[in-house]
């Protein structure tokens, strides 16, 4: 969803709940009118706005939670497909810049590929590994 769609959904859901929020506030205020008249007037004056703002925050939090769940689900699907592709010997395309800086590790590797995959290095791909005090340094490692 793009930002405008999210804002429209929040506004729509809030509009749907406004009547319920107002009714709940009115009932609560009516029940307290004899025990706390000043608090009741304040609740009637400011309570609806606060309740509406609270409901808006709840809606936004629920939408954020839904978004996080969707992202997690997409990542799980991606991981599953990636693992299936590794097992099927698919093509792995490498491009861009892979850079590793390290100090004092035993082994440092810039890129490591395993399995029966075809590795394609696109033109301009750069792998650089900088190390200080490491035992072994490998830029690119491919194991079959």
Model's pTM, two decimal places? 0.38
Burial of 17 (0-12, 13-18, 19+ CB in 10 A): middle
Q: What is the pLDDT of residues 3-55, one digit of tens each?
A: 677 767 777 776 676 666 555 555 555 556 666 666 666 666 565 666 677 77
Say whether pLDDT at 1 is over 60: no
Backbone angles phi, psi at 100, to 5 degrees: -130, 130
List of residues 6+ apart from 91 with CB closer than 8 A: 117, 118, 119, 120
Q: Nearest 5°: phi and psi at 111? A: -145, 135
pLDDT at 126: 92
Separation between Cα atoms, residue 67 and residue 15, nearest integer Å: 21
Domain boundaries, the chain: 3-87, 89-143
């Amino acid at each position: 969803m793009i930002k405008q769609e999210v804002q429209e959904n929040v506004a729509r859901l809030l509009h749907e709940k406004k009547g319920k929020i107002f009714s709940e506030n009115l009932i609560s205020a009516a029940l307290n009118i004899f025990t706390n008249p000043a608090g009741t007037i304040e609740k009637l004056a400011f309570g609806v706005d606060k309740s509406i703002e609270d409901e808006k925050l709840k809606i936004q939090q629920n939408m954020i939670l839904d978004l996080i769940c969707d992202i997690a689900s997409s990542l799980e699907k991606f991981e599953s497909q990636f693992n299936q592709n590794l097992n099927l010997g698919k093509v792995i395309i490498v491009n861009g810049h892979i850079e590793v800086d390290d100090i004092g590790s035993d082994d440092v590797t810039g890129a490591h590929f395993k399995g029966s995959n075809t590795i394609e290095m696109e033109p301009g791909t750069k792998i650089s590994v900088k190390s200080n005090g490491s035992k072994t340094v490998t830029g690119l490692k491919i194991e079959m």
